[in-house]
């Protein structure tokens, strides 16, 4: 089918395009940008007047909760949420039940996702069996099954020797290792940033050093092994500074930040708002500023939703007992737009953090609208304002710390592989 | 952000924390408590009918005989019907959620919940979910707050020292894990105490404790110098050895209140303790029973303060 997207403002960070240009799709791929290809006849025309046309978003951390936690969310509900948020590709962490440590599980997930035909799913395989931090998984088999990287998700890996071996093994084959740095002893039982709010509210703390000590170990091991390392959900200024230095040094390291941490701080916990019980914890104002500086100077590569749908019962508990996590797939784009507006970042730069940069750190040739690329496209109205109301979210997880926030920017069309999969 | 303790007219709806409690309400509670001290003290019949026909539920998710008993006595002296529930040993172990427990108790037409829970913020959580006519009193939530304890401490201080604006108050011990200390700090600063000190080793202090408005001392003699009021904290048994402290003996040597250390405070200093005391760990017996100690009057005032809180919450004009 041939599709003509006309009159839109095309923003394609990879190709450095921010201009009024039409996009022509032939056979599920971008056939031309600007001028119609010879002999093009549109079967369908999308009038994108007043709208922005961009590559579909790529979210490097979205929990779909399958297999094992279908009461929290299902592939159907979360894929619907993804495309409603303009997200056409997502990487899902391995902390399912059972964890993604067997090729069969990965194949099943890929198969289920493909049959839904909504967003592309890039599974991140477990680095160790059962995420127990003891034995390495069959990384070759898992890669053949479709894993794009290996991670412990939020499970601890306390044995440094195992981590060294895991990195050596991954480096042997050029596989990517994704780690969220946290020293599990320093973070034990902790539920909030070790700062003023935790002191006041008497919440067990997670100090910044829990992040930086584990990060120092990870960077040192990366230096030793030469592994391609990605640091997930960086939360503190100190960690951003360390990654900046590591990049300058020439280490193959990338990192991402969750949208929650770009906008919120420990102060948002207020009077024990369990929606702000997140992993890693929301940190102080200076950390938020440090994360934003890291985005501006390119130290932080990707912005993700850290989408973690939680069922209502698990949130209806006192702060520390409430399960950590928040929904995010549908909020990623408007929250990136909000940050860009607040910091006066040109959209061309801002949107790179959710398109080409995450694609690169996943090793995928995607996240752009070059001629010949898959036509994964998000078309949104930058002027449309809306209020976040949990009941209106498509995700099965309704909990968000942004409940009631006024947002600007609403997705109108999402195309996956040249087909309209969402429209409103 | 609305203060969850106040209703839209700015009146006390729940007592959850001393933080954010308007000074007028604090004074009101202390003044009202003074009238109840007489009820408890001098009268033949120790009862007033202010809460007649009201039901007070003591909902304890964490065991505490002492605190529960003082609330029970307070409620009974106000002529309320009192129901004691030790939830720790029943519903939750059968798998009932906290919300279901709260809903069930509301359905039994409780007027007031007195709640103790091991998690910080549990009382806030319950207060958010109860029926609008139900009042919640926090009787201790995790490390967060124990407002009636702090208020009875304020009552005791006012009783002996009259004013707050000229005092030096030292809080000694495990501030990190103490809901009492947090509530005391907020109450003292609300009432205008110019100098609040905390004295403890670094392992027993929260990060950024200075931001609560206190001065930090690690040397007890220095911290006690010229203090008017000394608030001792209880050291939980499980903290006495491990990564926070090497031993109870070593703790006593450096942070236990003895006559020698007390000599650094003002000659008319008063010594307080929320109980139950660990004699020989945080306080020497000679001091606990000595002339500076007002630990037993604290207990007596505690009942009057809890009566005051309950009657104010019930909207009773005295």
Average pLDDT over every residue of A148-168:
97
Q: Tell me the pLDDT of chain B averaged across its residues.
A: 92
Find, among B182, B169, B143, B142, the residue nearest to B21 by Cα. Answer: B182
Q: Does A203 touch chain B (CB under 8 A)?
A: yes
Indicate the DSSP class of residue B234. P
Across the interface, whether the CB atoms of B97 and A317 are under 8 A apart is answered yes
Residues of chain A with Cβ-Cβ distance to B141 below 8 Å are 202, 318
- Residue B229, class by beta-carbon neighbours within 10 Å (0-12 exposed, 13-18 middle, 19+ buried)? buried
pLDDT above 90 coverage of chain A, percent? 98
What CA–CA distance (Å, rounded) separates B157 from B151? 10
CATH annotation of B147-295:
3.40.50.1370
Between B235 and B95, whose confidence is greater?
Answer: B235
In a mutagenesis test of the B interface, which of A193, A200, A276 is the best target, namely the one with the most B β-carbons within 10 Å? Answer: A200
| CB of A176 closer than 8 Å to CB of A196 | no
Summarised one tens digit per residue, pLDDT across range A228-267 is 999 999 999 999 999 999 999 999 999 999 999 999 999 9
Query: What are the start and end residues of each CATH 3.40.50.1370 domain in chain B?
Result: 23-146+299-313, 147-295
**CA-based max dimension of chain B:** 56
In a mutagenesis test of the B interface, which of A193, A265, A271, A284 is the best target, namely the one with the most B β-carbons within 10 Å? Answer: A271
Task: Say if residue A423's pLDDT is above 80.
Answer: yes
pLDDT of residue A326: 97
pLDDT of residue B241: 74
Give all domains of chain A, ordered by start, each with its CATH number.
Answer: 3-53+374-382+398-423 (2.30.40.10), 56-361 (3.20.20.140)
Task: Say if residue B94's pLDDT is above 90.
Answer: no
CATH annotation of B23-146+299-313:
3.40.50.1370
Backbone angles phi, psi at A403, to 5 degrees: -45, 120
Average pLDDT over every residue of A43-52:
98
Task: Say if residue B93's pLDDT is above 90.
Answer: no
Q: Does A199 touch chain B (CB under 8 A)?
A: yes
pLDDT of residue B163: 96
Task: Say if residue B122's pLDDT is above 80.
Answer: yes
pLDDT of residue B155: 98
A residues 10-39 near B, CB within 8 Å?
none
Compute CA distances A115 → A57, A112, A120, A223, B10, whole Å: 20, 5, 11, 41, 57
A residues 346-365 near B, CB within 8 Å?
none
Beta bridge partners of A415: A377, A420
pLDDT of residue B40: 67
What is the model's pTM?
0.94
| CB of A233 closer than 8 Å to CB of A255 | no
pLDDT of residue B317: 47
Q: Alpha helices of A117-195 — where are they, by DSSP H? A: 139-145, 160-173
Q: Which residue has the tokens 């592309």?
A: A120
pLDDT of residue B92: 59
Q: Find the angle CA(A325)-CA(A328)-CA(A330) to the nearest 5 degrees.
A: 155
pLDDT of residue B65: 86
Q: Please give the ipTM for the structure prediction.
A: 0.92
Summarised one tens digit per residue, pLDDT across range A336-359 is 999 999 999 999 999 999 999 999
Q: What is the dihedral of CA A63, A357, A176, A100, to 10 degrees?
A: 10
What CA–CA distance (Å, rounded) separates B74 from B40? 9
Find, among B44, B245, B207, B266, the residue nearest to A266 by Cα. Answer: B207
Helix (H) or strand (E) holding B196: strand B195-199
Helix (H) or strand (E) holding B155: helix B147-161
Find, among A335, A311, A336, A333, the residue nearest to A323 by Cα. Answer: A311
Q: Does A135 touch chain B (CB under 8 A)?
A: no
Beta-carbon contacts of residue A342 (< 8 Å; ≥ 6 apart) = none
Average pLDDT over every residue of B261-277:
97
What CA–CA distance (Å, rounded) separates B195 from B92? 43
Q: B89 pLDDT band (50/70/90 cuts)?
A: low
């Amino acid at each position: 089918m041939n599709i003509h997207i006309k009159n839109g403002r095309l923003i394609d960070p990879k190709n450095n395009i921010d201009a009024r240009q039409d996009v022509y799709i032939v056979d599920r791929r971008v056939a031309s940008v600007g001028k119609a290809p010879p002999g093009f006849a549109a079967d369908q025309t999308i009038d994108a007047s007043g709208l922005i046309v961009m590559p579909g978003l790529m979210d490097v951390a979205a929990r779909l909760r399958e297999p094992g936690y279908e009461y929290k969310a299902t592939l159907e509900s979360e894929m619907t949420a993804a495309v409603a948020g303009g997200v056409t590709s997502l990487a899902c962490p391995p902390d399912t039940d059972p964890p993604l440590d067997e090729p069969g599980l990965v194949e099943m997930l890929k198969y289920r996702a493909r049959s839904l035909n909504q967003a592309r799913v890039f599974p991140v395989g477990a680095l160790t069996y059962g995420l127990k931090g003891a034995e390495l998984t069959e990384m070759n088999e898992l890669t053949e099954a479709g894993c794009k990287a290996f991670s412990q998700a939020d499970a601890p890996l306390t044995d440094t020797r195992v981590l060294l071996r895991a990195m050596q093994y991954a480096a042997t084959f050029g596989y990517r290792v994704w780690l969220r740095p946290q020293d599990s002893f320093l973070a034990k039982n902790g539920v909030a940033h070790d700062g003023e709010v935790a002191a006041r509210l008497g919440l067990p703390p997670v100090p910044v050093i829990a992040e930086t000590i584990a990060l120092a170990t990870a960077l040192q091991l990366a230096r030793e092994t030469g592994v391609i390392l990605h640091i997930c959900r960086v939360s503190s200024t100190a960690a951003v500074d360390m990654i900046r230095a590591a990049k300058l040094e020439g280490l193959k390291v990338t990192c991402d930040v969750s949208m929650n941490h770009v906008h919120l701080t420990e102060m948002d916990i207020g009077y024990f708002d369990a929606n702000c019980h997140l992993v890693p914890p929301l940190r102080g104002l200076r950390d938020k500023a440090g994360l934003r500086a890291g985005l501006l100077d390119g130290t932080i590569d990707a912005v993700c939703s850290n989408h973690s749908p939680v069922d209502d019962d698990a949130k209806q508990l006192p702060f520390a007992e409430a399960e950590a996590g928040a929904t995010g797939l549908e909020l990623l784009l408007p929250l990136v737009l909000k940050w860009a507006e607040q910091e006066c970042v040109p959209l061309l730069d801002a949107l790179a953090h959710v398109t080409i940069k995450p694609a690169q750190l996943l090793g995928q040739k995607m996240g752009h609208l070059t001629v010949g690329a898959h036509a994964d496209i998000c078309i949104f109205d930058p002027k449309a304002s809306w209020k976040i109301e949990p009941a209106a979210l498509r995700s099965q997880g309704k909990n968000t710390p942004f409940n009631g926030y006024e947002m600007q920017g609403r997705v109108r069309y999402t195309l996956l592989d040249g087909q309209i999969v969402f429209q409103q | 952000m609305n203060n969850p303790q106040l209703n839209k007219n700015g009146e006390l709806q729940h007592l959850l924390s001393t933080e954010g409690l308007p000074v007028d309400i604090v004074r009101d509670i202390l003044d009202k408590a003074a009238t109840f001290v007489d009820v408890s003290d001098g009268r033949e019949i120790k009862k007033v009918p202010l809460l007649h026909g009201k039901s007070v539920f003591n909902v304890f998710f964490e065991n505490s005989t002492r605190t529960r008993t003082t609330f029970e006595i307070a409620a009974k002296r106000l002529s309320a019907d009192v129901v004691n529930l030790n939830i720790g040993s029943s519903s939750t172990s059968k798998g009932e959620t906290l919300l279901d427990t709260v809903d069930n108790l509301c359905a039994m037409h409780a007027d007031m919940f007195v709640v103790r829970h091991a998690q910080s913020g549990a009382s806030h959580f319950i207060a958010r979910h109860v029926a609008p006519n139900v009042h919640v009193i926090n009787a201790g939530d995790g490390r967060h707050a124990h407002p009636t304890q702090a208020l009875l401490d304020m009552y005791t201080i006012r009783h002996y020292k009259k004013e707050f604006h000229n005092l030096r108050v030292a809080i000694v011990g495990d501030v990190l894990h103490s809901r009492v200390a947090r509530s005391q700090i907020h109450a003292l600063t609300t009432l205008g105490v110019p100098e609040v000190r905390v004295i403890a080793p670094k392992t027993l202090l929260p990060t950024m404790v200075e931001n609560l408005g206190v001065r930090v001392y690690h040397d007890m003699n220095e911290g006690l110098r010229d203090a008017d009021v000394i608030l001792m904290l209880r050291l939980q048994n499980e903290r006495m050895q491990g990564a926070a402290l090497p031993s109870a003996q070593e703790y006593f040597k450096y942070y236990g209140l003895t006559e020698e250390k007390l000599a650094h405070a003002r000659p008319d200093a008063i010594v307080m303790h929320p109980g139950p005391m660990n004699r020989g760990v945080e306080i020497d017996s000679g001091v606990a029973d000595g002339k500076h100690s007002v630990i037993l009057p604290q207990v007596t005032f505690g009942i009057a303060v809890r009566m005051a809180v309950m009657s104010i919450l019930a909207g009773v004009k005295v």
